[in-house]
Amino acid sequence: MPATFQSDESYALSLDACDRLARYREAFHIPRRGDVREVIYFAGNSLGLQPKGVQSLLERELEDWANLAVDAHFEGSTPWYSYHELFRETGARLVGARPGEVVLMNSLTVNLHLMMVSFYRPTRERYKIVMEDAAFPSDTYAVRTQLRWHGFDPDDALLVVKPAGRGHSVTAERFEEVLEREGERVALVLLAGVNFFTGQVFDMERLTAAAHRHDCVVGLDLAHAAGNVPLRLHDWQVDFAVWCNYKYLNSGPGAVAGCFVHERHGDNRALVRFGGWWGNDPGTRFRMHLQPEFVPQGGAEGWQISNPPILAMAPVRVSYEMFDAVGMAALRAKSAALTGYLQFLIDEVSPERFEVITPREAASRGCQLSILVHDRPRDLLGDLAAEGVVADFREPNVVRVAPVPLYNSFHDVWTFAQILARHDRQPG
């Protein structure tokens, strides 16, 4: 990241000229307003752009379906029967796992429920779940309904760790305080790797270690972390993790999701789980009705329920191969520079009217900056849309913007700041 930034347009263009990742922008379809102008797309934290390679790969699978039908399971250009195995290594590298610890299946919240079947095993003495404040609603709904399913009152059993004072970030110390006080009663610590609302990156390694000191299971929702920040799930000893592939991982709306199970659990066939035939031992999978007992295969694949959705997996294949080629270190370096530049420009415009609630430290944020707008927040969103900027709004007054290193430029950031400045000069 540059030691200092400058606010003129030529400086932004010079950063783009030196950007080794700039060429990847051409690998994506950028939406347009009218016939010519490309939008400034800062909504990759909600839905990533479509890689241009997706269409041809989908067409290949459709051709195999048309020409081979059921035989494509074993004779297709990429046999469907083993299609999920394509992600054993690319998926593992993406999240810092070992081959066999990652599987793609279902959707994120479905995977979260399946993981809680195995890893939330409450007793009368140890039944509570710890989450961060302002967690993504789907996680909260999943946890509260799981607690009710097990006969607990969510208002008692769910511990929400809040920021200190009037701050927006939840520090590691706050989590550790709660664990010191409640740890003997906590069965599961469930955290986002990156908070969806504030964009804060949690110290996942430190918090996992803190939870394990109190014998708590640790699960992570990496929806806003996978493809955004470097992860080392195996080395951090995380018990399980789930993520979606349609945000930073650009695999399409509702794309098939990812799941990590640490190898110390993956080979434990006695671990309670919901079974399905694709999680069954492949050696006996086709005995069908002759094999009434579910015998899970080893690793994360033993949590599969159904056979892989090929048409949903093909876009993920394109994305993971791109991430594998670029590498998270290079992506992270550009991301830190983009958000650092954006923070600098917002400070130049009006720190009084536009307050960034995402931590200022590069290590504590990813691609996203969440901007608390003190004056006419919805008007700002309208101004941005009118000038070709795609961002999103979170109640009551936060605009989230995510300059994504694969397809956003420093000039995108500079242009966005100019729109903020014009909005700031308008009478309230």
Q: What is the average pLDDT value for the chain, to the nearest integer?
A: 95
Q: Which amino acid is at 151?
A: G
- Name residues whose C-beta falls within 8 Å of residue 309's C-beta, 6 or more positions apart in sequence: 256
**Residues 320 and 344 reside in one and the same domain:** no
Q: What is the DSSP letter of 343?
A: H
Q: What is the 3-state secondary structure (H, E, C) of 73-127?
A: HHHCCCCCCCHHHHHHHHHHHHHCCCCCCEEECCCHHHHHHHHHHHHCCCCCCCC
Sheet of strand 186-192, all strands in order from the earlier edge strand to the far edge:
102-104, 258-261, 240-243, 217-221, 186-192, 128-132, 158-161
The per-residue pLDDT for range 274-292, each reduced to its tens digit, is 999 999 998 888 888 888 8
In angstroms, the CA 315 to CA 301 distance is 20
pLDDT tier at 36, thresholds 50, 70, 90: low
**Residues 268 and 332 reside in one and the same domain:** no
Mean pLDDT in residue range 37-57: 97
CA 216, 90, 247 angle in degrees (round to 5)? 75
Give the pLDDT score at 37.
84
One-character DSSP codes across 224-283: TTTTTS---HHHHT-SEEEE-SSSTT---TT---EEEE-HHHHT-TTS-----GGGB-TT
Mean pLDDT in residue range 346-356: 87
**Residues 198 and 127 reside in one and the same domain:** yes
The per-residue pLDDT for range 125-181, each reduced to its tens digit, is 999 999 999 999 999 999 999 999 999 999 999 999 999 888 899 999 999 999 999
Contact present, 256 and 285 (Cβ < 8 Å): no
73 found inside a domain: no
316 found inside a domain: yes
**Residues 247 and 333 reside in one and the same domain:** no
The per-residue pLDDT for range 304-335, each reduced to its tens digit, is 999 999 999 999 999 999 999 999 999 999 99
pLDDT for 428 beyond 60 = no
**Residues 143 and 26 reside in one and the same domain:** no
Task: For residue 299, give the CATH number of its domain.
Answer: 3.40.640.10
pLDDT for 352 beyond 80 = no
**Residues 95 and 43 reside in one and the same domain:** no
**Residues 163 and 44 reside in one and the same domain:** no
63 found inside a domain: no
Give the pLDDT score at 165.
84
Contact present, 256 and 245 (Cβ < 8 Å): yes
Task: For residue 420, give the CATH number of its domain.
Answer: 3.90.1150.10
- Name residues whose C-beta falls within 8 Å of residue 269's C-beta, 6 or more positions apart in sequence: 295, 296, 298, 302
Using DSSP, state whether 181 is helix, strand or coil: helix
Residue that has been written with the tokens 């059921």 in this structure: 70
Give the pLDDT score at 41.
97
Mean pLDDT in residue range 255-267: 97
1 found inside a domain: no
**β partners of residue 33:** 37
% of the chain at pLDDT higher than 90? 87
| Residue-number span of the structural domain to which 314 is assigned | 82-325
- Out of 301, 325, 349, a domain closes at 325
Give the pLDDT score at 404.
98
pLDDT for 375 beyond 90 = no
pLDDT for 427 beyond 80 = no
Mean pLDDT in residue range 91-108: 98
pLDDT for 2 beyond 90 = no
Domain count, the chain: 2
Rg (CA), the chain: 23
**Residues 226 and 315 reside in one and the same domain:** yes
Query: How many of the other CB atoms lie within 10 Å of CB of 317?
Result: 21
pLDDT tier at 1, thresholds 50, 70, 90: low
3 found inside a domain: no
**Residues 99 and 221 reside in one and the same domain:** yes
Positive or negative torsion for Cα 7, 8, 11, 17: positive
pLDDT for 424 beyond 80 = no
Q: Which two tokens stand for residue 388?
A: 């070709």
**Residues 220 and 276 reside in one and the same domain:** yes
**Residues 145 and 263 reside in one and the same domain:** yes
pLDDT for 35 beyond 80 = no
Give the pLDDT score at 3.
67
Q: What is the DSSP letter of 402?
A: B
- Out of 325, 345, 362, a domain closes at 325
Backbone angles phi, psi at 76, to 5 degrees: -70, 170
**Residues 91 and 200 reside in one and the same domain:** yes
65 found inside a domain: no
Give the pLDDT score at 122.
98
The per-residue pLDDT for range 191-236, each reduced to its tens digit, is 999 999 999 999 999 999 999 999 999 999 999 999 999 999 999 9
Contact present, 172 and 210 (Cβ < 8 Å): yes
Give the pLDDT score at 184.
97
Give the pLDDT score at 286.
86
For helices 87-95 and 310-326, the axis angle rounded to 10 degrees is 50
Highest mean pLDDT among 29-43, 309-323, 381-395: 309-323
Mean pLDDT in residue range 183-192: 98
Give the pLDDT score at 67.
98
Of residues 410, 418, 361, the one with CA closest to residue 22: 410
Checking 77-81 for CB contacts under 8 A at 24+ apart, the result is 80/307, 80/308, 80/310
Residue that has been written with the tokens 């950007």 in this structure: 19
Q: Which two tokens stand for residue 203?
A: 């110290």
Give the pLDDT score at 353.
83
- Out of 325, 357, 391, a domain closes at 325
Paired sense of beta strands 40-41 and 389-390, if any: parallel
pLDDT for 34 beyond 80 = no
pLDDT tier at 377, thresholds 50, 70, 90: confident
% of the chain at pLDDT higher than 70? 98
379 found inside a domain: yes
70 found inside a domain: no
